[in-house]
Chains A and B, each alone.
Chain A
Amino acid sequence: MAADVHKKKGWEVPNGSLAPGDGQHAERSESPTPGLAQGTEPGAGQEGAMFVHTRSYEDLTSPEDGAAAARSPEERRGEPAEPTSMEQISKDFSELSTQLTGMALDLEEEMRQSKEGKLEPSPQTTHRDSVLSGKEEEDVTMDAWRMHRKHVFVLSEAGKPVYSRYGSEEALSSTMGVMMALVSFLEAEKNAIRSIHAGTALGGNGMWGLMACLAVLLPWATLAVPRGRLVAGGRGCSLAPPCSPGEPGLQVCPRPSRGTPSQADGYKVVFVRRSPLVLVAVARTRQSEQEIAHELLYIYYQILSLLTWTQLNHIFQQKQNYDLRRLLAGSERITDNLLDLMAHDPSFLMGAVRCLPLAASVRDAVSTSLQQAKAKSLVFSILLSGNQLVSLVRKKDQFLHPIDLHLLFNLISSSSSFREGEAWTPICLPKFNSSGFFHAHISYLEQEMDLCLLLVSTDREDFFTVSDCKRRFQERLRRRGVHHALQEALRTPFYSVAQVGIPDLRHFIYKSKSSGLFTSPEIEAPYVREEEKERLLGLYQYLHSRAHNSSRPLKNIYFTGPRENLLAWVTSAFELYICYSPLGTKAGAISAVNKLMKWIRKEEDRLFILTPQTY
């Protein structure tokens, strides 16, 4: 059941290229302006893109699409012009800031409270890693279990447990039963449950309060469903079915009163149903429902990457109450790792890929070596370091989806076993083709070097051919003499924000939409401790969710908090989030944006892959 790359046309754009049409191939401007057309922003590829074109975050979460293709130039021309001057932007920011400063105080308050309530044991060390001695499980009746900030459960539609982030699935089967009952009960009324908000009163009691809430809601739901929305105000619960029932997406209704602390203090329970699985998150984080649902979808795709959609469906058609844990045994840590990674790495939030900073000449030499070490069955050759991309060469007309690449990154970072020998494993890239397996050759180039080569082939019999590609690649690298330069670059896999030369600037994330790549400096002081780093990511998550709110998206957000100020700027070409000193002014921030964009333009050939190669 090889993935059929030759026939797959679903998401390809008519002209076979993801770069803007010829008419759009405008000059790359020196100083980027807000009116920058997509494809000309800093970081945009010069010769087409590497990835399936995802216009935005919403595309990534859209249901089994295949249709997340680029807009045609015609459509793009029809768009309202972006504001073209800094004055306009600055005016937009001033209009927004009043409202959001108010919000910010709430946010700070909420984040502080949630931190105080945090008694979380370190998730990485407590469970599962010692597979040899069997899975060490937390006792689900203990307080520590209830205090985790984000629980994730996967169950089959028959209500059988498939995966639980913490604790054993067995001990949770009754809880999962309640969840399933709730989901199917509401769906019987042609309504899908998307999320539940549990307020302070219930949130304080942890999961048990939540489960009580679910149980209590059941009889009420009958009354509420025809009206489309239930707000059980007195108990601090609100149930939010979709605004437009026909829409298959994951959009969640805007909350009845935005930003009221009582909601954020409690739990959010988010459901994603992807038959034959139901995924549930119980989160105390500041993320929006949309973002949590997005993470759940990643978990779903992660499961597909091990089994394929076809196999998964086949299994449950054969036997509705099949225990999927049998097939997933030994892979729980891959899912665990994905959840941990999503809490730390902005790649998932941005739906984009970060490149290892590397001199363009070195990267070109690496890419050419990869390109030359080809084989008939190879579809993608990927070189990566940590979770950063060094180079990617693809078969002509075949595009990788960022989600698929993230899943590959996660697979590699979740297992140390790839460090030895050469691995050869079937893997499904669900966004590329959810019905077939590719075969991936995974190996590290050298023992002490964090450089992993991933060769994705369509032919499972081709191990030795592909293994030979690796040998040829290494030989070419040596002959081109870039080995030393690569080693040097790996010594500093992140750059410092100080290089930009803006004193008040602390950190930023810049994403080029047309290339699907983003760049971000190392997180430095004052974000030293793990909680501080997570808090910063939480702020970005918050801005991102406001910018991409499906019912009221924002283009410019200026956010002032007691510990830092943030600014978000989302255009059709790029997204920029910057974090700078709380003493900085708004005018300062705006000029910083200008300067930063110029810097990124200047450094773009080091920070991005501008000329993606094909075989």
Chain B
Amino acid sequence: MAQQAMPDTSLGQMRPTYIYKVVLLGSTSVGKSSLAYRYVKNDFKESLPTVGCSFFTQTLNLEVATVRFEIWDTAGQEKYHSVCHLYYRGAHAALLVYDISNKETLNRAKLWLRDLEKEFLPDEIVIALVGNKTDLAAEREVATEEGEEFARTKDLLFMETSAKSNHQVNDIFMAIGELCDSSS
């Protein structure tokens, strides 16, 4: 499915370059921008709501290939929903992010999933369910098992992360990278 990820050997390199478009979806304030920022800059700061969407790139030089992630970080606010399909069109992977300390955000993530299912065939896109903010364990409203269970029934990748304490942020991107690779 990653047909757009064209191998690039023009510079005499033997390693192909794969470009994967990844889109972050979820309610307001679940930490989509923070995840992207942690992954790209390896840093954390309290951020304000995203306006429209932000675009980041991250290039990984692996032994066998170069992988370039094009990350589209969307705004969770309702007024931008009408333009969101623009951002996830042609995506290779989607991260459905919810906040483990806010049950409602998991329900929203389920709605996003329904949207994606309308847009993509099951094998066209890699979808990961991400429970963010594990640093707020004391205020947890969604049990790990609950997310896990839901992910299993829908055949999604699942991981709990914390952008703040840098827990499994790299891992989730690596995991979707691998899946994109194996399905391409």
Residues of A within 8 A of B (CB): 129-132, 306-307, 326-331, 333, 411, 415-418, 420-427, 440, 442, 460-461, 463, 467
**B111 at interface, CB cutoff 8 A:** no
Chain A, Cβ-Cβ closest to B45: A416
Chain A, Cβ-Cβ closest to B76: A330
Which residues of chain B are within 8 angstroms of A329 by Cβ–Cβ distance?
Answer: 28, 77-79
Which residues of chain A are within 8 angstroms of B160 by Cβ–Cβ distance?
Answer: none
**B50 at interface, CB cutoff 8 A:** yes
**B120 at interface, CB cutoff 8 A:** no
Q: How far is the CB of A185 from chain B (nearest CB, A)?
A: 32
Which residues of chain A are within 8 angstroms of B40 by Cβ–Cβ distance?
Answer: 420-421
Known: A326-B78, A427-B52. 4 other contacts (CB 8 A): A331-B79, A333-B49, A417-B50, A423-B52
Query: How far is it, in angstroms, between the C-alpha of A426 and the C-alpha of B48 when the chains are bound?
Result: 18
6 A–B contacts, CB within 8 A, in A order? A131-B48, A329-B77, A415-B51, A418-B51, A423-B50, A440-B52
Residues of B within 8 A of A (CB): 28-29, 33, 36-37, 40-41, 46-56, 73, 75-80, 83, 86
Query: How far is it, in angstroms, between the C-alpha of A418 and the C-alpha of B55 when the chains are bound?
Result: 10
Query: How far is it, in angstroms, between the C-alpha of A119 and the C-alpha of B77 when the chains are bound?
Result: 35
Query: Max chain A CB contacts within 10 Å: which of B49, B51, B80?
Result: B51
Are the CB atoms of A421 and B77 closer together than 8 Å? no
Tell me if A's interface is mostly helix, strand, loop or mixed.
mixed
Among A326, A327, A333, A422, the residue within 8 A (CB) of B48 is A333
Query: How far is it, in angstroms, between the C-alpha of A467 and the C-alpha of B54 when the chains are bound?
Result: 12
Chain A, Cβ-Cβ closest to B29: A132
Are the CB atoms of A417 and B78 closer together than 8 Å? no
Which residues of chain B are within 8 angstroms of A426 by Cβ–Cβ distance?
Answer: 52, 80, 83
Are the CB atoms of B48 and A416 closer together than 8 Å? yes
Are the CB atoms of A424 and B47 closer together than 8 Å? no
Which residues of chain A are within 8 angstroms of B46 by Cβ–Cβ distance?
Answer: 130, 132
Which residues of chain B are within 8 angstroms of A423 by Cβ–Cβ distance?
Answer: 50-55
Known contacts A421-B73, A424-B53; A416 and B47 CB within 8 A of each other: yes
Query: How far is it, in angstroms, between the C-alpha of A326 and the C-alpha of B27 when the chains are bound?
Result: 13
Q: How far is the CB of B90 from chain A (nearest CB, A)?
A: 11
Are the CB atoms of B56 and A420 closer together than 8 Å? yes
Q: How far is the CB of A423 from chain B (nearest CB, A)?
A: 5
Q: How far is the CB of B24 from chain A (nearest CB, A)?
A: 12
Q: How far is the CB of B43 from chain A (nearest CB, A)?
A: 9
Closest 8 CB pairs of A and B: A425-B52, A330-B49, A421-B54, A330-B77, A421-B56, A422-B55, A327-B79, A425-B51
Q: How far is the CB of A3 from chain B (nearest CB, A)?
A: 14
Are the CB atoms of A421 and B36 closer together than 8 Å? yes
